[in-house]
Structures are given as C-alpha cells and as structure tokens.
Amino acid sequence: MRKSKLGSVPFVPFKECEMNVETMPRAAGKAVSLNAGKHRQAGLTLLEAIAFLGISGLVIGGALAMYSSASSSQSTGQTVNEYQSFKTAVKSLYTTPSGYGTASLNTVLVPAKKVPASLTSIAPGTITNVWAGTVLVSGATAGSTFYVSYDKVPKDVCVGMIPAITASNDWRGYNVVVEAAAVGAMSGITAPVSPATAVTACANDSNKVTLWAS
C-alpha cells in the first residue's frame, strides 16, 4: 500500500476496494445472492396472478348466471305476450265463437298478418317459435273454443309462463305434454296455476304447452 502525497492518508487502489457481493459472507458462512429478492418478487406475482384468475372466474360465473336468469325471464315474458296476442287476434277476426270451427286457424292468421313479429310465419299457415317448435292455433269443441299450442317449450319457460298466463283469468284451460305429442285433454282453470303445479306439469325438458280460450 502506497502513501499519498498528503502523507498521513493511505492511498488504496480501486481494485483492492472491490467486493464480490455474490460471495460476501453472511451469518453461518452463506453467500449473499442478489437474485433472492427477485425470486421472492416472482413468487408474490404468481400468487397475485392466481388470486386474480380466481376472482375473475367468480365474476364471470356470476355474470353468466345473471345472464341466464335474465334470458329465461325475457323468453317467458315474450311467450306470454305471444299467447295473448294470438287470443286477441282470433277474437278480432271471429265475431262469434261458433265461427272458430275445428280446423287450424293458422291459414287465416298468417295472410291476415296477425302473427306476432317475434315468430316466424310462412304462407299459407306455417308458424314457428324461437325454439324451432310448431305453433298451432286451432278451433276446438265444435267451434265454441279455440286453442294456442306451442311445441318445444323449455322447462324453465314452461314453469314460468303457466302461473303468469293463467293469472289473467281469461283462459279456459291448459295442458302440458311432452314435445311432439298430440294435444292432451284440457284442464280447466278456476284460479291461477301455482308454481308447484306448473313444475309438476312441465316435467319434460321440452314441452308442448296448449291454452284454450273462447
């Protein structure tokens, strides 16, 4: 070690001051690593990413559940409105109940443009609902009543629409059978159908729902 010109202050060359941090002794003689902090930081980032993905999954799952519920409610409300529209249309076209006859009224409703816009209609009398099911409006019981029948109605919509539509108290009866089956016998409506009764009636995943009016 050389002395500087100042005499009392020793001059230490730079290389003699260099320290290898990687090999600096720690307690217990272990080397210090500059990468230790980086590893801890990377670990925290991974945990944060996992937490973020978990929270995102819950949010997305909740949003999908809400969308499904809203979609079901919208379909139910739309279907109820369609039934009511058909009932109003038939009564406006036929001034007396005896004029309903016992045949399909689709061939009258389609050219008269009395089919709800939410349904698909093709001349002369084909009407299809949003589930690609057949819609039939027909006279019944010697012409004194008529019915509106929808095929391929999903269970959730069926369960929701039966109590809602029978609450209006202007339908005479209803019937629910499995998709593509023949229209069943009418069950008279004396009071709004309860949700529990609707669940029993709408037992199938895809149903044919028929309502009678006069």
Instruction: Give the start-to-end residue ranges of the domains of the chain.
Output: 75-213
CA-CA distance, 204 to 181, in Å (whole number)? 12
| The domain over range 75-213 is classified in CATH as 3.30.70.80 | no
For tokens 């500059």, what's the residue? 34
Element containing residue 149 per DSSP (H, E): strand 145-154
Could you read off the pLDDT of 99-115 as tens digits, one per residue? Answer: 899 999 999 999 999 99
Give burial (CB, 10 Å; 0-12/13-18/19+) of 130.
middle
Q: Is the pLDDT of residue 5 over 70?
A: no
Q: Are 179 and 204 in contact (CB under 8 A)?
A: yes
Closest CA to 135 of 145, 123, 120: 120
Min mean pLDDT across 27-41, 113-127, 186-200 is at 27-41
Read off the pLDDT band of 17 (50, 70, 90): very low
Element containing residue 139 per DSSP (H, E): strand 135-140
* Count of CA atoms in the C-beta half-sphere (13 A) of 67: 6
Identify the pLDDT of residue 48. 74
Read off the pLDDT band of 147 (50, 70, 90): very high
Q: Is the pLDDT of residue 163 over 70?
A: yes
The rounded percent of the chain whose pLDDT value lies above 90 is 60
